[in-house]
Amino acid sequence: MRKHLSLFIVHCSLIIALMSGLTSCAELFDMEEAIVPTTMTLERHDVTLMVGDSCVIHPVFTPDSLSNNSIFWFSMDNQVADFVTADTLVALGTGVTDAVAISVTDYTQVDTCAVRVIDRWELTSDSYPYETVIYARATVQGQPITPDMTIAAFYGEECRGIGQVHQSHGITYLVLRVGSEIRYDDSDEDWIDYGDDEEASSPSELYRERIIFRCYDRRNHILLTSPVRVVFDGEAHGTLSDLFDLKF
pLDDT tens by residue, 16-56: 344 444 444 434 334 344 434 578 899 999 999 999 999 99
Q: How far apart are CA 60 and CA 224, in angstroms?
A: 26
CA–CA dist 98, 116 (Å, integer)? 9
55 & 96 share domain? yes
In sequence order, what DSSP letters do the residues of 9-71 get, joined into one string? HHHHHHHHHHHHHHHHHHHHHHHHHHHS--EEEES-SEEEEETT-EEEPPEEEESTT-S---E
| CATH number of the domain where residue 58 is located | 2.60.40.1080
Which of 90, 118, 146 is the last residue before a domain boundary? 118
Are residues 54 and 142 located together in one domain of the fold?
A: no
pLDDT of residue 181: 81
pLDDT of amino acid 101: 93
pLDDT at 62: 81
State the CATH number of the domain containing residue 216: 2.60.40
From 118, 143, 161, the end of a domain falls on 118
The answer on 235 and 138 residing in a single domain is yes
Tens digit of each residue's pLDDT (9 = 90 or more) over 106-129? 888 899 999 999 999 998 777 788
Q: Which of the given ranges, 77-86, 112-121, 134-143, 145-154, has the highest pLDDT on average?
A: 112-121
Does some domain include residue 31? Answer: no
Average pLDDT, the chain: 78
| 150 and 72 inside one domain | no
The pLDDT > 70 percentage for the chain reads 73
> How do 236-237 and 130-140 pair as beta strands?
parallel
> Is residue 62 one of the residues assigned to a domain?
yes
Q: Are residues 107 and 152 located together in one domain of the fold?
A: no
With residue 151 as reference, give the H or E element that holds it.
Answer: strand 149-155
Count each helix (H run) and each strand (E run) in the chain, helices first: 1, 21
Together in a domain, 236 and 135: yes
Residues 53 and 89 occupy one common structural domain: yes
Q: What's the CA angle centered on 66, arms 65 and 68, to 5 degrees?
A: 145
Cα angle, residue 242 at apex, residues 240 and 245 outer, rounded to 5°: 105
* pLDDT for 10: 40
Both 113 and 134 in a single domain?
no
Give the CA angle between residues 47, 115, 210 to the nearest 5°: 70
Tell me whether residue 79 is in a domain. Answer: yes
Residues 59 and 159 in one domain: no
Answer yes or no: do 134 and 243 share one domain.
Answer: yes
Residue 84 confidence class, pLDDT cut points 50, 70, 90: confident
Residue 206 and residue 130: Cα distance in Å, rounded? Answer: 12
8 in any annotated domain: no
Say what the pLDDT of residue 115 is. 97
Considering the entire predicted model, what is its pTM? 0.72
Residues 85 and 137 in one domain: no
3-state SS class at 169 = coil
Return the pLDDT at 67.
Answer: 58
Please tell me whether residues 161 and 239 are part of one structural domain: yes
Q: How many domains does the chain have?
A: 2
**In the chain, pLDDT over 90 holds for what percent of residues?**
43
Flag whether 23 is in a domain: no
Burial class (CB in 10 A: 0-12, 13-18, 19+), 149: buried
Q: What is the pLDDT of residues 175-233, one digit of tens each?
A: 999 998 877 655 544 444 444 444 444 444 446 788 999 999 999 999 999 999 988 88
CB 91 within 8 A of CB 47: no
Residue 86 lies in a domain: yes
Look at residue 233 in the predicted model and tell me its pLDDT: 83
Residue 103 has pLDDT above 80, yes or no: yes
Last residue of a domain, one of 73, 91, 118: 118
In a domain, 21, yes or no: no
Q: How confident is the model at residue 75 (pLDDT cuts 50, 70, 90)?
A: very high
| pLDDT reported for residue 136 | 93
Output the pLDDT for position 237.
92
Residue 172 identity (one-letter amino acid): T
The answer as to whether 24 is a domain residue is: no
Which of 82-86, 118-122, 149-153 is predicted with the least confidence, judged by mean pLDDT? 82-86
What domain range includes position 233? 130-247
CA 5 to chain centre: 73
